[in-house]
Structure formats: C-alpha cells, structure tokens
Amino acid sequence: MAQYSWPKRGTASLIGTEQDRIDGLPKATGMAKYAYDINAPEMLFAKLLGSPHAHCRIKSIDTSAAEKVRGVKAVKTMKEPGNEIRWQGDHIACVAAESEGAAAEGVAAIKVDYELLDVFVNEEDLEAAERAGRAQPLKPDIKTPNEPGDDDDEDEFYNMEFDRLFSEAAVVVEGYYGVPVISHMCLEPHGSTCEWNSDKLLAHLSTQNVSGTASQFGDPLGITADDVTVHCDYIGGGFGSKFAADAWGVIAAQIAKETGRPVKLMLDRDLELKIAGIRPSGFIKVKAGADSEGKVTVWDSRHWGTAGPGAPGNVGHGIIPYVFNPPSIRRQQIPILTDTGPHRAWRAPGHPQACAMSQTAYDDIAAKLGIDSYDVFLRNLPKPSTPEQAHRDEIYRGEMEVAARLMDWKAKWHPHGKGNAKGSIVTGLGMALHTWGGSAHNSTCIIKVHPDGGVETFLGSQDLGPGTRTVIAMVVAETFGLPISAVKVNIGSSRYPASGPSGGSTTVGGVSESNRRGSQDALEQLFALVAKKLQVEPASLEAKKGRIQVQGEPSKGLSWKEACSLLGMKPLEVQGKYERGAEPSPLSSIQVGGVQMAEVAVDRDTGVVKMKKYVAVQDMGLIINRKTAASQIYGAVIMGIAYALFEERIMDPKTGAYVNCETGDYKLARLGDVGEIVVELYEPDSEYKRGVVGLGEPPVISPGAAISNAVANALGVRVPVLPLTPKRVLEALEEGRA
Amino acid sequence: MQDHEHLERHQPGFSRRAFLRGSGAAAAATALATGPGVAEADEQKTKVVGPGPTKIKLTVNGKPHDLEVEPRMTLLEALRYKLDLTGAKPVSDDGSSGASTVIIDGKPLSAESTLAIDCVNKKIQTVESLGGSKPDPVAKAFVHQDAMQCGFCTPGFVVAVRHFLDKHPKATEAEIRAGLNGNLCRCGTYANVIMAALEVVKGGK
C-alpha cells in the first residue's frame, strides 16, 4: 500500500492552482439537470396542501371536490382528523395532476376543518415566552477559578463570586444583542421527481446526501434500499437543509407507484420557506467585565432563541462567548418552543448567531474604553486548549495582520462614533473572527483505469456548490500526472460507492482523501507493471506530464496510454477508502479559523447601511482549487451581508403566519448591495502541511458581528438586533439620543 | 442610485424599472386569467380561450414549435415541460428572482410571470441559445470568473448579463453594480458575476 501524502509544496502541477470548474459551462448555459429539471414521459405534477394555521387540530378533511378537478389524478391525505399541527405550512395533503395549474386548483379545493389552538411565535420576548410556558431554561454552565465548597449554597456562592469579579473589573458593559430566525431559502426548493420501473424506484432528489437517502424512501414504501436509486447530478442550494428524503419525497414516490406515472413534487416557494428549514434565532443579555486594556475577565449571559416547536436546538452555550475564553464564565441557554417550522442545520450551525451575540459585546468594551477594537480582539485571543487548537492564536494573529493591511485598518480607524461625518453619512470599521472543525467525512471511491488510458472515478458524493467534481478531478489528475480533462468524475448516484453527506465542511476533505488514496494505490499497481517492462525499480518511477517515467528522466519511460496498455484486457479497479479514525491522516486535518473586517457607511438620516469594503482572511489547511475556494468565501461573505443587513423571517404574532414567505418579500442582498470584497486565502507552509480542511461553513460566521461592529463604530450607538434595517438603525439612534 | 438613474436616462434600451414594469404587468395578467370572472372581463375585447388546453405556436431560439397549453400555463412551464428547455428556473412566481429570465422581442422578462399564450408571434430567446458548441462569451466569462456555485440562479443571470451588455457594451463597474439587481443568488456569487461582466466588457463583446 502506498504511503499516502500530498506533493511537496511547490511541486504540484494542479493542487493549489486556480482551475475553472469542469461543470461550469453546463451550469452557465442551462444544460445542467437539477431534480426540478428532470422531465419523465407522462409525468404528473404534485403539490402539497400546507396548513394555513400555525397551531391547530384537524377536525376533518374532505378531498371529494379536489378529486373532481379537471386534470387531478390523485389526492392523498398526509394527516388525519385529530392530528395536531404545530407550524404553518405543515403538510396535510398532496394532489397530483396533469399540470401545475391543475394541481394547485386541486389543492385549493380540499376542505379542511380546523380547531384553532393557542399560538406563540414571538421568541424575542423572553418574558412573554416564560408567561406562555414556552421557555425551557437549561442549567447555567459556570466556570470560575474559585469553586464553591461542600457547605456553600451554589447559587449564593456564584452570585457573590460574580459580584466580586465584576467589582474588580476596570470596565463593565451590559448589552443586548440578537439574530432573528432566517430561512435557508434554497433557490431550488426541496423536492424530487420520482419514477418507478416495475418495483424499483428512481428518485431524482435534490439532496446533499446522495449516499444516505435511499433507505429513507425504502422503509416507508415497504421496499429495501437496494430497490431504490437516488440520483442528483446538481443541487440548487441546500446549506444544511437537504439531508432527508422528507415526507414530501416519500409521498411523491407513493403516488408515482399508485398511478403508474412519474411524479414531480417540488415545494412551492412559500412552503419552502415555512417548512423546509430555518436557522434558529439567538438573543442574549450579557454583562461582561474587562481590565483597563479590554481583556475580558468575566462573562455572565443568558441567551434564548427558537429552533421551532420541538426539542431544544437553539444556540448551545458551549460557544458563548464565541472563540474567546475568559477565565470566569456563567452562561445559560434558554430554548423557546414556538409554533413555527422546525430548524435544520444552517451553514455552521449555531456559530454565526454565537459570534453575533458575543463578539459584539467585546466590541462594546472597546467602545466604552475608547480604544481600538483591533487591540481588544488581539488581547483576548484564546490560548490553545486542545491539540487541534495548537498555534490557533498565532494563526489568528497572522490573519489579523493580513486583514488589517488589506483593510488599511490603522489609517481608517476612529473611536466609536468619533468619525468625520460627510453630511449625514458616517463610516465605521468592525471585525470578528471565527472557528470551525471541518474534518473530512468518510468516503469511498472506485478509481478505474482503462487499458486505453481512460480514467474514471465513481463515488456517491454530490456538488453542493464548492466545485466538488473539479476538486476530485484535480486530485486524481495530479496523482496520475494527467490533465484535468483526462479524468471523468462520476458522482450523484447512490449506486456508486458511499460517500458522506455534504455537511459541516466535510466534503472536499472526504472526497480528496478517498480519491488521493485510490489513485495513489492504482498508480502503485501501474508502476509495478511499468517497472517490470523497463527493468527498473518501481520506487524510481514518477507519473508526470502524461508519462510514467524514471524520476527526472522523461526518455526512460512510457506514455500514460502505453503504460495503461500493460493492463491487458481488463481495466484496473481500485477502491479508495477513507474512514475517520483516531489516528490523524496525512491528507486531511481538522480546525480552521478566519478573520473578517467590515467597512460600512451609514446614513444617519435614513438609517440605510451600505457596505463599502469587506476583507475576509481564511485558513483551510492545504488548498486544492484556489479559484473555487475563493468563490466559497466570496459567497459566504455575501450570505453574511444578507443576514446582517436584509433577511429575517417575519411572523405575525397573533396568527403565527410567516408574513414574508415569498421571494419578493424575503429580502436578500442583491448584486449592488455587496460593496468591495477582498478575499485572502491564508496558507503559510504550516497550513499546507496540515492537509485539507473544509471551508464551507467558516467564512459565513463572522459577517453578522463584523458588520454590526462596523455600524456601531460608525454611529457610536449599538444597533442591537440583526438585520440592521433602516428602521432598526433609526430606532437605535433615537434611543441613543434619549 | 445615481448610477442607476444615469443608466435609465441616457441608455433607454435597458431599464430595471421597465423590466419590473414588464413582469408586473405579466403577473397581473396571470392573476386575471386564473382568477374568477375572467371570461366576462375578457369577452368583450378578445377571443375567449380555455379553461381547457389550446393550441399555440411559439418561436423559441429561432425554431417554431406547435404546442398545446392550458391558458393559465406560464411561458416558464411551457418551456420546461412542453419543450424540455429547463435552463430558465422556477424560483419565484412574481419575477422577483430573475431566475427565469428570457428575452422576448429583445426585452428581458421573467418567463414565470408571462403567460405562454401571450408569447404567440413573439421571438423568445432562452439561455440555451447561449450554449452549444460555440458558447457565448458571457457564459464563458461566468465559467472563467467562477460566477456560480450551486448554479440554479446562473442561467437567469447569464441571460440578464448578456442583455445588459448588449445594451451597455462599455459598462463600467459602477454601472454593472447599478444595473443588474433583478437577479437573486443565494450562494452569493455577485462578486464573481461583476468580475464576469467586466471580463466581457474588456474582451470587447
């Protein structure tokens, strides 16, 4: 077995270069087929009836009128009389018809009687939640240098201890910060096109989990996963919300089976926002004390938020305060149960909210002391606490220096609220930093080398957007010394060897692991054949520029095609397998971070915040494709600008209705809103040596805090809750004047 | 904002306001055609069709097609389900996403908020016409600048950029930032789209 490794830095021909994505043209010209785009002959169109009420009980369902609608072929109920509904939009029935219009007409003709129940959706108001019995406080998590003795009353001891710690602090700030719920808002909604061939199901599913969803169809349909093929060549956004087949996937398959016709069921936009995934909210009341230089010594906070109606899924207390680790902490997490759609993982679960709920308080300490936020962040950098965190403070320091240079921070900095105004416009700077794991997921691939020189790889992975296909092609081509175009990448089918779901920044690491391992092993077998032919030692060979040759001697070797012809009649098939274990891998690693800085201009008269410049410095271990890596950071920053300035779920407090659940009402950043964005891939030798670490989540974490801090720096007043809409900015200014 | 107004005033060929007006009118038409009382309202002026399917001819990317559509069927549904042209994407119903942008008689419109029966005798150009063996420079620039991630918004964006640059072949970065706000992207590819548009401007076409 080969010794798995990456090429020494500076020797790679592809790894670490900028490469166009290999599926770029199909995507740009509309030829790429998403689940929504699969059209099967005789296909029916299905739509769901979602509950119009947030909290109710179904008294009766009458589908008779719907069944008579012209073009309707099937009506199936998905709930029964007596069932309780806990969020608006929850699926009640499904109609399949000859056209989308007919299906919509069918849905509208279903008559349901509801018994309305009490509604609670206003999770920002902690006292209201407590009154309504919807707050479920967890036990406070406390860390102090002094601990209570056996005879001490714990609460009393800690109250006194925290009072003492705060009295010793040079400065104390008390703040309130918040981040409301946002929806995933995948542009391709959740759904599938399902077709049967006798007793076998082919589900074209929009999924970030190609290898893990077949059995989710199999179980409820009374078949086993071997009779299910999940297929997804392209997915139009997932962000953590598309790991499951979902009830609406299963019902589509069921109706397809019963009608004998393929069925397409993609969620309507309003249902996509209501039921297919939200990011939990987070609101916090903080008291923090620091020394005269801004080093935080004590942190005391209560934070709450909702993940929907079910189990506590709001931001965990373990990441409060975010990244920083003061010596004394008391933090309490309070999940609020609301009659709203359930949460799903949203890019870096918990982290963006935690960052925006706590690094804002650190910035307020700088404001109160009148010192540079940069210095406060620097003084609070955490000391490494785990082996994975080793050198993390050094990396942050290095990244802060790079970011400050790119932003021209020192020259632009002014104390909070003390900048020069141009008319009603004031500018400000803010920063934040973040952390993420990003270890590789388990991944298996088959590398196939054909006797005519053709190269393929097969794995049940998916491309959520980071350019997974291109990364795979680069890894295999690098190993074989071939151009990228020589490698055919086959992903997107559950028929291929299993590879992990794309979540938690694990995919590029995982697929790089399996494909590097598989191709290194395959190359070793080819080397053995070539060595025999050339009468040299296999260890003396290299694969370079389309040849297998004695190292440094291109004349002593064979072309790739000649080398492969030594395989005889049968292709060489080698499995590449990576399983996350206790031992560190030479190819991938865990733990990344990054530093981001925002410069904004705020109009004090209108409350409008505009992005001037944004700098994102990000480490990610060894970088495979610099072009797509940079794109992911640009994208994360823009997604961050969206939740910092524009987007939020707005609920009607009386009815629990999702008010802005259409594309035109759910405000996101547009092209003209993003300002200048500077991305820097931070990859010193120490990073390159660590191997691949995932990138998907980390750069989306900091923007909320960085932009909020920049606005606070501009105004001299904190706008406590994101997104920083004109209304909130003007309210904060009003309050600041009062 | 100034840039935007500048564009509208001096280069009347493209205007986001006109674009929005266009899709708004189409959305209203959708509501009328599918709402109650449509027959009475329309009877006096035009021939009544439907509610059953009706035969129409559409000219898409220079090719005529005979198809049978329900009067309520949008152009987007007709393109996707009758002609299997799935480049234009269903993201919104009201034209607010730009994902279904097609060019109708030289104007960018949202196919999702345009009825198929309203497109008879009009020239429809879809993103597919920018592909093939000789892809359009805009599509190539999108690839080169990596102006896509999941890619679901990309075809609509490519059509919008193509049309914008046809009208403003020498657009500045400020004009690009002001003039391409009709398309929504969730992955956040705007920075790359700006670079792609600039690349095409610099390339001359």
Q: What is the pLDDT of residues A551-575, one digit of tens each?
A: 999 999 999 999 999 999 999 999 9
Query: Which position has the higher pLDDT, B17 or A284?
Result: A284
Q: What is the mean pLDDT of chain A?
A: 96
* Res B1 pLDDT > 60: no
Average pLDDT over residues A197-211: 97
A27 to B151: CB separation less than 8 angstroms, yes or no: yes
* Integer Cα distance of A595 and A355 in angstroms: 12
Confidence (pLDDT) at A738: 64
**What percent of chain A has a predicted confidence (pLDDT) above 70?**
99
Burial A500-525 (b: 16+ CB within 10 A, else e): bbbbbbbbbbbbbbbbbbbbbbbbbe
Average pLDDT over residues A428-452: 97
Confidence (pLDDT) at B204: 52
B151 to A632: CB separation less than 8 angstroms, yes or no: no
Contact A682, A619 (CB under 8 A): yes
Q: Which of A20, A236, A632 sits opposite B144 (nearest CB)?
A: A20
Burial class (CB in 10 A: 0-12, 13-18, 19+), B43: exposed
Q: How far is A675 from chain B (nearest CA, A)?
A: 9
B153 to A187: CB separation less than 8 angstroms, yes or no: yes
A236 to B158: CB separation less than 8 angstroms, yes or no: no
Confidence (pLDDT) at B46: 66
* Integer Cα distance of A579 and A510 in angstroms: 9
A269 to B92: CB separation less than 8 angstroms, yes or no: yes
A638 to B190: CB separation less than 8 angstroms, yes or no: yes
Q: How far is A79 from chain B (nearest CA, A)?
A: 28
A634 to B150: CB separation less than 8 angstroms, yes or no: no
**What percent of chain B has a predicted confidence (pLDDT) above 70?**
77
* Integer Cα distance of A73 and A428 in angstroms: 60
pLDDT for A341-352, tens place per residue? 999 999 999 999
* Res B43 pLDDT > 50: no
Q: How far is A604 from chain B (nearest CA, A)?
A: 17
Contact A510, A578 (CB under 8 A): yes
Q: Which of B70, B80, B191 sits opposite A638 (nearest CB)?
A: B191
Average pLDDT over residues A22-39: 98
pLDDT for A260-288, tens place per residue? 999 999 999 999 999 999 999 999 999 99
A contacts of B92 (beta carbons < 8 Å): 269, 662-664
* Res A633 pLDDT > 50: yes
The pLDDT confidence band at residue B15, using thresholds 50, 70 and 90, is very low
Residue of chain B whose alpha carbon sits nearest to that of A647? B186
pLDDT for A360-375, tens place per residue? 999 999 999 999 999 9
| CB contacts < 8 A (A, B) | 196
- Pick from A674, A525, A683, A532: nearest CA to A619: A683
B contacts of A352 (beta carbons < 8 Å): none
A30 to B94: CB separation less than 8 angstroms, yes or no: no
Residue of chain A whose alpha carbon sits nearest to that of B150? A465
Q: Which of A101, A634, A663 sits opposite B97 (nearest CB)?
A: A663
Confidence (pLDDT) at B14: 38
The pLDDT confidence band at residue B52, using thresholds 50, 70 and 90, is confident
* Integer Cα distance of A95 and A105 in angstroms: 9
The DSSP bridge partners found for residue A172 are A289
- Pick from A167, A190, A210, A176: nearest CA to A269: A190
Helix (H) or strand (E) holding A412: helix A409-412
Q: How far is B41 from chain A (nearest CA, A)?
A: 21
A28 to B154: CB separation less than 8 angstroms, yes or no: yes
A contacts of B131 (beta carbons < 8 Å): 25, 28-31
Residue with structure tokens 């449509």? B38
Contact B150, A24 (CB under 8 A): no
Confidence (pLDDT) at A367: 98
pLDDT for B72-107, tens place per residue? 999 999 999 999 999 999 999 999 999 999 999 999
* Integer Cα distance of B166 and B161 in angstroms: 8
Q: How far is B122 from chain A (nearest CA, A)?
A: 22
Q: Which of A20, A237, A466 sits opposite B186 (nearest CB)?
A: A237
pLDDT for A79-120, tens place per residue? 999 999 999 999 999 999 999 999 999 999 999 999 999 999
Average pLDDT over residues A406-427: 97
Tokens of A365: 């300490």
The DSSP bridge partners found for residue A575 are A446
Strands lying side by side in the sheet with B54-60: B63-69, B54-60, B123-125, B101-104, B107-110
Mutate: best of B54, B161, B186, partner A, most A CBs <10 A: B186
Average pLDDT over residues B48-73: 92
* Res B11 pLDDT > 70: no
B177 to A672: CB separation less than 8 angstroms, yes or no: yes
